Amino acid sequence: MLLSPQRIPLSPRKDVLINSPPDCYQNVKKALHTALPDRLLCREAEMKTVNDFLDVHLGDEAPGSLYISGAPGTGKTAVVSLIRQRLQEERTCQSVYVNCMSVQNPQAIFNKIYSEFNHGKELSLSVKAAVQKLEKVLSSKGSMVVLILDEIDQLDCRNQEILYTMFEWPTLANSRLVLIGIANALDLTDRILPRLQARPKCRPQLLNFTPYTKDQLIKVLKDRLQSLELNGHSVIEPSAVQFCAMKVAAVAGDMRKALDVCRRAVEAVETEVRKQQVLSPGSPSKRPTVPKKIGVAHILRIVNTVYGSKVSSQPGQVETIPLQQKLAMCTLLMVVRQGKGKETTLGKFHEFYSSVCKGQKLQPVDQSEFFTVCSHMETRGIIRIKKSKDARNAKVNLGLDEKELEIALQDKTLLSAVLDKGLKGK
């Protein structure tokens, strides 16, 4: 005889485990993942542009190229990855994806691409041989090929012959290539590939992904959390979601950062709850089944950790930027103002910084610690660092406008002295 629902014995401990805060927090953290989602909100226009580009070139069997730019976390790779999934399902063309960070040096990219055409089989051809084989593949009979090169700016090298070679592939006789390059820099094709402008057939179509706005960040975060609401209430307070979106949008509109801030806030509260349960175990049936919510204060603590005072300080407050970051900020501005270029390497940056410190009779930090200082500055949006296998050769440039940096530095006696001395030259 079956027991009625009312007579089924329930274990208090099991009931608490099902509804316990830790379980709830785990589900929220899963929802805030930064992996490729099933759909992308607030990137419909960009998705349509890429789809339209591919529909035209694949439909007409016309080779061509598209350069996609945008700051980190703006959805560039996610959009292209979702579209590539569609192409693979339709099987109307061959698609190849390569992250240019996966090669040890720019010249190795040709072997890497050719190996992808050979089912991932590793090869060790010379650059010339690899290029010749690739060009033969791309101009031979067959279905159209979509080649996606992510972080293509990592192939930036002297004379730019590698990038020029790739953007010229669609113009080969009988070429069946549609090239999609992805990178952060908006002006990559104009700044380092000026020859493309003189050859209309080589000039790629451009698409820029703008940073997510506050409202867009809120929309995406709410969508992720909506299915996890308990009795109509979210584990993360609506005000906390809005606060997170406002702060992240103020720096760079980076969706990954917004998800990361919320997830880390959930982890912090989850840790607090677990500690309380250990310190005050009590009876399981007496433990609260309603989870402790994540509020503005929790988000603020994480924002302070991730971004520092750049986004957490209130209007009218003086920013408390660490001394070494102040010195590094002035050093980079000095390098730009003295005409040494808008970009330098981390190794050179440390040399300039050390010189500035000695000029101010201050002890510079060693190279390893300086790289950590730069990493903190990057998370705050003050500088941009292009990844490199060798940290010393990683490219660095300002993430802020020069005037914005000046405003941040004004009324700081030490920084003014450093900048003034540097500008007057040694």
Are 89 and 202 part of one and the same domain?
A: yes
Are 54 and 142 part of one and the same domain?
A: yes
* Sheet of 94-99, strands arranged across: 94-99, 145-150, 177-183, 64-70, 205-209
Are 99 and 191 part of one and the same domain?
A: yes
Q: Which residues contact 148 (CB under 8 A, 6 or more apart)?
A: 80, 84, 95, 96, 97, 98, 180, 182
The answer to which of 173-182, 259-268, 375-384 has the lowest mean pLDDT is: 375-384
CATH of residue 376's domain is 1.10.10.10
The last residue of a domain, from among 288, 312, 336:
312
411 vs 120, residue with greater confidence: 120
Are 134 and 155 part of one and the same domain?
A: yes
As a whole number, mean pLDDT of residues 60-65 equals 96
The last residue of a domain, from among 180, 209, 238:
209
Q: How many domains does the chain have?
A: 3
Structural domain includes residue 413:
yes
Are 56 and 199 part of one and the same domain?
A: yes
Q: State pLDDT tens for residues 302-316.
A: 988 776 644 444 433
Is the pLDDT confidence value at 424 over 50? Answer: no
Other Cβ atoms within 10 Å of 264 Cβ, number: 19
The last residue of a domain, from among 274, 292, 312:
312
Structural domain includes residue 193:
yes
Are 58 and 141 part of one and the same domain?
A: yes
Is the pLDDT confidence value at 59 over 60? Answer: yes
Q: State pLDDT tens for residues 152-197.
A: 988 887 778 999 999 999 999 999 999 999 998 877 777 777 777 7
In whole numbers, what is the pLDDT of the chain averaged over residues?
A: 82
As a whole number, mean pLDDT of residues 210-235 equals 85
Query: Measured between alpha carbons, how far is 33 from 309 in angstroms, rounded to an integer?
Result: 26
CATH of residue 178's domain is 3.40.50.300
The whole domain housing 413 covers 323-424
For position 207, what pLDDT does the model report? 95
As a whole number, mean pLDDT of residues 93-107 equals 93
Is the pLDDT confidence value at 13 over 50? Answer: no
Are 271 and 380 part of one and the same domain?
A: no
Give the Cα-Cα-Cα angle 377, 152, 245 (nearest 5 degrees): 45
Are 305 and 392 part of one and the same domain?
A: no
219 vs 409, residue with greater confidence: 219
The answer to which of 218-222, 241-245, 247-251, 379-383 has the lowest mean pLDDT is: 379-383
Long-range CB contact pairs, 274-282, < 8 A, 24+: 274/22
Other Cβ atoms within 10 Å of 203 Cβ, number: 17
Is the pLDDT confidence value at 338 over 90? Answer: no
Instruction: Place 404 in a pLDDT band, splitting at 50, 70 and 90.
Output: low
Most confident region among 43-47, 120-124, 210-214 by mean pLDDT? 43-47
Structural domain includes residue 6:
no
What global pTM score does this model have? Answer: 0.69
